[in-house]
Structure 1
Amino acid sequence: MTQPLRYGINVTLDGCVHHEAGLPPDAESMAFWTDELRRSDSLLYGRVTYELMESAWRRPESGEWPDWMDASEVAFSEVMDPMRKYVVSTELDAVDWNASLVREGLAAAVQELKAQPGRGISVGGVQLPTALANLGLIDEFTFVVHPVVAGRGPRLLEGVREQMVFQLVERRELASGATAQRYRPVASA
């Protein structure tokens, strides 16, 4: 049995997935994403997402979380910080923050990761998930849809080459008006 590869991201009504395009995070949405992290043992990111997440959520050398973090953000950081991370990049020479580089052979590397024992692998970002979707490697998609039209920015799964059909397996309304939706692929056309 392989562990599932789960893609999760915030998205606006017009499909924008830029990290600043939706509603500002609140305690409820941060708790949702913290629980999502807890479903997995490791994280899979491309270079851009890895660097973004590291700059925001890595424990500082002082050991103290920054003053700008509220309790929900600290909880998220405390789950993410020690997790094993895999970074798909041909540009980086080295990574740290409990991370390993994946340089080539994306399909084989991800299949190998999925074959290892564990609760799951969480993937984030924009370009890497599109590549993984094109390879048919993502087992679950979780979108928190924000009641916002961004009007510009990168789009959700832009570049997927074939139609994908999904089954809704969970839907949850958040107090902010955002909706968490979990899907599993059932077919490709």
Structure 2
Amino acid sequence: MRSGAVTLRVSGENNEMRPLRYSINVTLDGCCHHEAGLPPDEESMRYWTAQMERADALLFGRVTYEMMESAWRRPATVAWPDWMDEWEIPFAEAMDRAKKYVVSSTLSGVDWNAELVQGDLGPAVQRLKEQPGEGLWVGGVTLPLALADLGLIDEYEFVVQPVLAGHGPTLLAGLRERIQLELVDRHEFQSGAVAVRYRPAQVPT
């Protein structure tokens, strides 16, 4: 695959801003419930592990953070549970060790190598983007919608599943304004799923 890295610059002398990528599985009819698509397999988990490792940190809302923690936090016994296949372990280890930022108005504290995002969402995430590094990765449904409305997402990555869900939460439902995108890259899986990456297009005014 050709590189789709996005480098943005902010005012100032040679200041680079970390791009924020939104990544999610979505069915052909737009459902983004985490159980709506195909079950994960070795190829898809290998892909997600590689994509996640491109980021310096992960950005989650409360619901996604708690869901990820319940599934992928390393047990106190150190050994991964018996239900986990061998090919899932690299993803679990990458998720477990990743730096995480959590946006929540109800949590009073987090651990699992995580910290709460304080203050207004827009300025707080902007400050995270202005820190040095390769990029930030956000998942979930509600938080990315708010970030898209604020114009803070630099890259959209959708793994389109060959499934028609018929119901469930839909991708970026309620977006305030139309966002035109341009294709950065695509990748086809043996399962029939297709990963497509876009960035906001520069639309002439």
Interval of TM-score (by shorter of Structure 1 and Structure 2): over 0.9
Alignment of 1:183 with 2:198, yes or no, is yes
Is the contact between residue 42 and residue 121 of structure 1 (CA under 8 Å) also seen in structure 2? Answer: yes
For structure 2, the 5+ residue unaligned runs are: 1-15
Aligned pair count reads: 189
Out of 180, 184, 191, which is 1:169 matched to?
184
Is the contact between residue 19 and residue 155 of structure 2 (CA under 8 Å) also seen in structure 1? Answer: yes
Larger Rg belongs to: 2
Alignment of 1:131 with 2:146, yes or no, is yes
The aligned residue for residue 91 of structure 2 is 76
Alignment of 1:110 with 2:125, yes or no, is yes
CA distance in 2, matches of 1:70, 1:118: 32
The aligned residue for residue 67 of structure 1 is 82
Query: Counterpart of 1:164 in 2: which secondary structure?
Result: coil
Is the contact between residue 164 and residue 187 of structure 1 (CA under 8 Å) also seen in structure 2? Answer: no
CA distance in 1, matches of 2:119, 2:169: 24
Indicate the larger mover: 145-154 or 98-107: 98-107
The aligned residue for residue 48 of structure 2 is 33
The aligned residue for residue 22 of structure 2 is 7
Alignment RMSD, CA only?
1.1
Q: Which runs of 4+ in 1 moved over 2 A?
A: none
> What is the one-letter code of the residue matched to 1:11?
V
The alpha-carbon deviation at position 66 of structure 1 amounts to 0.9
- TM-score, scaled to structure 1: 0.97
Indicate the larger mover: 63-72 or 134-143: 63-72
The alpha-carbon deviation at position 71 of structure 1 amounts to 2.1
